[in-house]
Structure 1
Amino acid sequence: MIPADPDRVIATARSWLGTPYHDQASLRGVGCDCLGLARGVWRELVGPEPFPIPPYSRDWGETGPREVLGEGARRMMIEVPLAEAGPGALVLFRMKPRAIAKHVGILTGPATFLHAYERLGVIEEPLTSVWRRRIAFAFLFPRR
């Protein structure tokens, strides 16, 4: 797979800024959660989603033997080492120690990222050390 142009990924993701937060939704300007943001960017950059997304819990402290989000991304995206994740990369965050990765963001610069956050909607903010140390996986969107 050839990676999508990072500038195009970032521009597409930024077009979602201000979209209200809505659990398990994925409609730009109407509502989305963090995964819904990634799904919407995928549809605009790559095309139709390759498989339906089953309902999922909002529990950021969820534990288990499988990294469901990571496995799903690995099926359709290009995994990269965390040290190589740059602007345009999709990153998965492990929000609590020993929990599975349950939050998604898109890097927009060396120290910024965009994500959908409850009560705030889609925002772009600094990738602080607190956020950076939670990154568990990194992927690149493939080119259409």
Structure 2
Amino acid sequence: MKNIILASCAAFSMTLSLFFEHTPTDKNTKLNSVETASVLSLDFPTSSLLTCINVPSLNFKDTLYYNYYAQTLGVRLNYSEDKHLLATVADWLGTPYRSGAASRQGTDCSGFVSKVYKEVYGITLVHSSRSMFQSVEHIKKSAIKAGDLVFFRRGPGKPIYHVGIYLNNNKFIHSASNGGVMVSSLNQSYYARNYYAAGRVNL
């Protein structure tokens, strides 16, 4: 099945390339071609196979937008995620870790989450993963969606020590003490072992 999908995507890409390389034969066709080319010249990669697989009805620009952030963040998206959220967290990638801080020069995990929530949703969260946990609606892991928070602790009875923002496909973005703002997977042994709960902020 996967090979059939990939083959379909390849055929679709070839068809597009033939269409856009076609030399226009009249003035009206030339105008349409130029307008189309201006869309294609946006700074988004067009090679992602995601455009061929389970994509909802989106315009071409939105599809490119989601493909760009799927590749930038390394996450398979549903094409329904908040675009402002994706753009904001992507801008923080690579920010170094700094305990107690919350800026582009350095941030800890709760500082990162609080800054993103303020910028994207206009919501002020306390700069503390434990306090955040107390203020959110607790949800099942199976119900997590993009923008929800994921919390971690080092064993039963231990306090919550870390928080991140869920993206999709078991991936979340957070400020890690060993690498700054990055995307990690809940399936990684360390995070799978220390995962505690998920929470949703009522927007």
Q: TM-score normalised to the size of structure 1?
A: 0.69
Q: Could you tell me how far 1:129 is from its partner in structure 2? A: 4.8
Counterpart code for 1:106: I
Structure 2 unmatched runs, 5+: 1-79
Whether 1:30 and 2:105 are equivalent positions in the alignment is: yes
Match of 2:162 among 103, 122, 131: 103
Aligned partners of 1:96 and 1:126: how far apart in 2? 19
Computed over aligned residues only, the root mean square deviation of the Cα atoms, in angstroms, reads 2.5
Kept in 2, the 8 Å contact 1:46–1:142? The answer is: no
Counterpart code for 2:170: A
Q: Could you tell me how far 1:133 is from its partner in structure 2? A: 4.1
Alignment map for 1:46-125 (pairs within 5 Å): 46-47=121-122, 49=124, 53=127, 69=130, 71-75=131-135, 77-125=136-184
Any idea what the Cα deviations from partners look like across 1:76-133, whole Å, max 9, x if unmatched? x333222211332111111334311110111122121111111411011222252134
Kept in 1, the 8 Å contact 2:173–2:184? The answer is: yes
Partner of 2:92: helix, strand, or coil? coil
RCO comparison, higher one (Cα < 8 Å, 6+): 1
Q: Could you tell me how far 1:42 is from its partner in structure 2? A: 1.5
Q: Which has the higher strand share?
A: 1
- Name the % identity: 28
Q: TM-score normalised to the size of structure 2?
A: 0.51
Aligned partners of 1:20 and 1:83: how far apart in 2? 31
Match of 1:19 among 91, 95, 99: 95
Any idea what the Cα deviations from partners look like across 1:63-82, whole Å, max 9, x if unmatched? xxxxx71x54442x333222
Aligned partners of 1:114 and 1:72: how far apart in 2? 16
Cα pair distance change 1:116/1:126, threshold 3 Å: same
Counterpart code for 2:196: A
Aligned partners of 1:103 and 1:123: how far apart in 2? 14
Partner of 1:15: helix, strand, or coil? helix
Number of aligned residues: 122
Counterpart code for 1:135: Y
Counterpart code for 2:138: E
